[in-house]
Amino acid sequence: MNAPAPSRRFPGNGGTPSTRELLEDTDRLREDVVALAGAVRRAARGWRTILRQQLDRQPYATLAVAAGVGYVLGGGVPTLLIRGLVGVGGRFAVEQAIARLAASPSPDSSPR
Q: What is the pTM of this model?
A: 0.45
Q: What pLDDT, on the 0 to 100 scale, is given for residue 7?
A: 56
Q: How far apart (Å, rounded) are the C-alpha atoms in residues 81 and 32?
A: 40
4-29 confidence digits (pLDDT tens): 555 555 555 556 888 999 999 999 99
The Cα 10–Cα 17 span in angstroms is: 6
pLDDT score recorded for residue 27:
93
In this model, does residue 69 exceed pLDDT 80?
yes
What does R_g of the chain's alpha carbons equal in angstroms? 26
Residue 30 CA to residue 57 CA, distance in Å, equals 41
Q: Note the pLDDT of residue 99.
A: 85
